Chains A and B, each alone.
Chain A
């Protein structure tokens, strides 16, 4: 009964989305206030029924309703409850329902937090989001319903959730990621609304900014969580593999970063409007493209959902309509955009534009590398692979140039800045960065290393230039505390995010250069040494978990005789899926991780294949990611977004 209610709620949600997609847009075009007024209640209705549908699926999982195919394929009676519920998004159909649900959530949020927005603008924005929702709910109902049943005979118990997914990571990573992916639809909707209305002054930039920043923050948090989860879950200590699905999340984030900077310039200076509109379309298009790549079976990935080309075809049609439609609209309407001010060739505007170029080229590089095998195959030239060596080789140099440019942009003034002024501002930071960069590999490692020099220099550069800019704010201040409270959340957010970039860069540089690992055969009593730590294997014993049995090893770690920690890696055997999984044991630290995983038992003396990793500064990767996300969220608390103004352009 409940699954059918869920399906029915989905159908009703489709109905409301369709009306939302048509009526308010028509109302905006004909300036019919009544029809435009329908947008808000329609958004509420759409959300309500998607919520009902979502709850029905959750109910089916919580009550072990194995007559529902999706539940039978992804759950089991012995699965702990938190994973039963997270299994809602553990497969294709359910995660798509989550996508649609989150979309309706953002639509509702826009309808609630838009007091300063003119009615026709709001109607258009919600209308565009309704169009997207119509597409996705149709996709759900036509090809991927999570409510299909196994009737009349259904399995007594489910096939269980993939053991790799039975983890805290599943609870947080997909929802965060989808909040980001879907969140970019708001910026997209604002851009389309601006193009449709012809209201191409910079006001839409001011309205878009908080929504874009929050979506960007969520996506960044989602990517960070994914990297962290893969690190401790997969057992090989890696944190980024340039896998197509990982790339699918990175691309919209990169373009999103370009977008949020471009929006800032458009809001403050009234320039770049055409470019910002294109970026908004581009960012969400990449979200949609990611959906296609992950669910169509076009690319191979450990993360891909079991999918089929028929679904892929449906999504491709969705893509053609949404992206093709928006780009056509852009091509026709963008010429009506006019700049509101001008800027010199050396100015903050110009430098931010250059940063945009870097970010977009980075995104295109990832896109090219991800799709190239498909391109070559489609042209009949055979099968090739593009992996980490390619991406690392191209990404790192451009990233370094971007970091260099970040520091310069912060010191540049709007409209016009001079080379002398820049030199004065940046000289000290430059010298400090070079000195730290050169010294660091000698102190921390054993001699000069170019990669470390490069990474540490640009990270220090970013931090130093940010600090100098902050310090300069107090130059004419009478009191420090007064000035501190005068600085806006936007500014603090920006500082936090930029420092986050440096922290990530430091983490990546150090963990990729100074990691040590060894795979050893260890019998009980054996000792090995790695990176000054001593590891002693004490043997393995059998333990039992909720839905698995395991061999648990004990390894005692000491540093120069002093005990550090005892770790217990496990080799788990999941009873229902009859599959094996390594559960690594990690001693986490701010400056280093000690990472242990068990392989196979070797021989009769209780010996095991054990992998030992020393990973310096790996946590800085995710700390930096969190700092960036926090920075993005902080900007939303800026007072100016709470003013009920009528859309004047704000000048810096």
Chain B
């Protein structure tokens, strides 16, 4: 128990920005480096991405990403490389597979479902309101009068 506390305390005491100075000749690669290191999780830290972590393993992984980018590897290859070694845990963007279907499709489905319910409910309460009201019917002359009044109002 105490050890756990100390471990946690130790891990939060070294909290400073990780500033690595990688020189990229290619602007596109530099952008991809920033994106990849922002979208990948440091395996050891308490929920930090590689970009913001100064843990040894995060620095190593960033170094590896840098080397792979310089070796003209694609984003997919780099991601697959990391996942093969550290599992899906290291990805901040969960993969779209059967396991994560609820995660990705759930909100959209819920939104659709919610909107349908709202429309259906409003329709049904309108129907019941219409059924209980008994508006007197207007004959043709009264309808014409009504129409005249309404037309006047529109102008």
Contact = CB atoms under 8 A, between A and B. Distances in A.
A300 B8 CA distance: 11
A388 B103 contact: no
Contacts of B1: 308
Contact of B92 (A364, A385, A517, A520): A385
Interface stretch (A114-122, A123-131, A233-241, A481-489): A233-241
Interface in B48-64: 48-49, 51-52
B92 A394 contact: no
Residue of B19, B87, B91, B126 with most chain A CB atoms under a 10 A cut-off = B19
Given A372-B103, A382-B87, A301 B46 contact: yes
A344 B88 contact: no
Interface string A360-387: 1100110011001000100001111111
Interface in A510-546: 517, 519-521
Contacts of A306: 4-5, 8-9
B39 A387 contact: yes
Interface string B10-28: 0011111111111000000
Interface in A180-229: none
Given A243-B47, A300-B46, A602-B21, A236 B52 contact: yes
Contacts of B21: 519-521, 599, 602, 609
Given A301-B47, A302-B47, A582 B119 contact: no
A81 interface: no
B119 A345 contact: yes
Contacts of A164: 12, 15
A581 interface: yes
| Size bracket, chain B contacts | 35 or more
Contacts of B71: none
A163 B8 CA distance: 15
A388 B13 contact: no
A376 B94 CA distance: 12
Nearest to B117: A357
A350 B17 contact: no
Contacts of A387: 39, 41, 49, 92-93
Given A343-B122, A345-B126, A599-B17, A383 B87 contact: yes
Contacts of A354: 115, 118
Given A342-B125, A357-B111, A381 B48 contact: no
A245 B16 CA distance: 20
B93 A162 contact: no
B61 to A, nearest CB: 14
Contacts of A582: 16-17
A342 B132 CA distance: 12
A480 interface: no
A611 interface: yes
A364 B91 contact: no
B64 to A, nearest CB: 17
Contact of A385 (B16, B20, B88, B129): B88
Contacts of B34: 517
A606 to B, nearest CB: 15
A168 interface: no
B99 interface: yes
Contacts of A520: 21
Contacts of B90: 385
A387 B100 CA distance: 13
Contacts of A571: 16
A520 B20 CA distance: 8
A369 B93 CA distance: 11
B114 A357 contact: yes
Contacts of B84: none
Interface in A376-413: 376, 381-390, 394, 398
Interface string A324-354: 0000000000000001001111000010011
A25 interface: no
B89 interface: yes
B110 interface: yes
Contacts of B92: 385-390
Contacts of A451: none
A365 B109 CA distance: 11
Given A342-B129, A387-B39, A611-B19, 19 more contacts: A236-B17, A241-B47, A243-B47, A302-B47, A302-B48, A308-B1, A354-B115, A361-B110, A368-B102, A376-B99, A381-B99, A384-B88, A388-B92, A389-B39, A390-B93, A519-B21, A578-B13, A582-B16, A599-B19
Interface of A: 159, 162-164, 234-236, 238, 241, 243-244, 300-302, 304, 306, 308, 339, 342-345, 350, 353-354, 357-358, 360-361, 364-365, 368-369, 372, 376, 381-390, 394, 398, 517, 519-521, 571, 577-582, 584, 597-600, 602, 609-611
Interface of B: 1, 4-5, 8-9, 12-22, 34, 38-39, 41, 45-49, 51-52, 87-94, 99-100, 102-104, 106-108, 110-111, 114-115, 118-119, 122-123, 125-126, 129
- Lowest 3 CB-CB distances: which A-B pairs, in order? A387-B92, A599-B19, A235-B17
20 contacts: A162-B13, A163-B15, A164-B15, A234-B15, A361-B111, A365-B107, A372-B103, A382-B88, A382-B89, A383-B89, A384-B94, A387-B41, A387-B92, A390-B93, A517-B34, A579-B13, A581-B16, A597-B17, A597-B19, A611-B19
